[in-house]
Amino acid sequence: MTYQIGIDSGGTHIVATAWDDSGNQLAQTTAGPGNILLDGPGTMRNLQRVIKHLAADLSDQHCTQILAGIAGVATTGNGASVAAQLEKDLGIPTAVINDAELALLNGLEGADGTLVIAGTGSITYGRQNGQFLRVGGWGQLLGDTGSAYQIFALAMKKALAAHDRGEGSPLITLCEALLEANSMPSAVRRFYQLDRAHLAAFAAKVAAAADDGNEAAQRVITESARALAQEVLVLLNRYAEPTPLKLALSGSVLVHNESFRHTLIETIRARYPIQARVVTTNNSRGVLFWHRWQEKEA
């Protein structure tokens, strides 16, 4: 029997999965960080570790190909040499793309279209006829529109605006409670003491408050979703005709926040009749659709 390996090599960890020719998962393993820009040698060691682990688990079968989506490789520009080195060391045909391309490949199952990711940060990617497009994703200071971080930041801004007007607001109560503060000035100090991931985690509490009928929190969710939808529309407007209408949604905000997801989809559908789907599978599954990109580029 034969199998293929897909690898999602991200900044915090690597996930490698072996799949049979019917798309069934045979085995999966993980390793440490996999951003090749931040740690090239460490990433190479971790990649070899997960591949060898899967090969040992499936020693009675033959691996036909490896596809690795590696964080940082778009910046380092050494994807071809990384693929060549892995292929030389392991004797398995290997291709390397960046982790965003792997997410796009998995989310759209090899078709042209758009992927929106909204988790701690946010970004929108598109692919049409072998050409890649990108909108947003410039970090919490310059972008990450509609991300979990920006949802809580917007809640804080609205709470502070009410505070400055001398008005009460359920967002003041919520933000002070989440930041364990007894006043908005104290909440601001606490906000600047916490890291991006910690603050982003509070977005789920804002969403829960919205679901419980907190109208101020509902406005935060709605405004955040509409803002991200505008970035998606910017990308859709850049496609050549006919516009690819498949839209994949990924990341904790889009997967778990139904109100946010509904608002984003309906805002986009006012302009384009998109076909939206939520992606919950690990991006290592993208290897199953790699041949579709190869066929289109041939």
Question: In this model, does residue 75 exceed pLDDT 90?
Answer: no
- In the CATH scheme, what is the homologous superfamily, with its name and number, of domain 2-92? ATPase, nucleotide binding domain (3.30.420.40)
How far is it, in rounded angstroms, from Cα 2 to Cα 10?
26
pLDDT digit string (tens) for 144-201? 999 999 999 999 999 999 999 999 999 999 999 999 999 999 999 999 999 988 999 9
pLDDT at 56 over 90: yes
Please report, rounded to a whole number, the percentage of residues in the chain having pLDDT higher than 90.
Answer: 87
pLDDT at 178: 97
Closest CA to 296 of 125, 110, 93, 132: 110
Residue pair 261/146 in contact (Cβ under 8 Å)? The answer is no
State both tokens at 290: 């790699």
- Least confidently predicted of 121-135, 172-186, 215-229: 121-135
Strand, helix or coil for residue 63: strand
Are 2-92 and 109-298 equal in CATH topology? yes
**Contact by Cβ (8 Å): 123, 178:** no
Q: Is 242 exposed, middle or buried (0-12, 13-18, 19+ CB in 10 A)?
A: exposed
Output the pLDDT for position 296: 64
**Is the per-residue pLDDT at 12 higher than 90?**
no
DSSP notation for 69-111: EEBTHHHH--HHHHHHHHHHHH-S-EEEEEHHHHHHHHHHTT-
Domain segments of the chain: what residues? 2-92, 109-298
Architecture of domain 109-298: 2-Layer Sandwich (3.30)
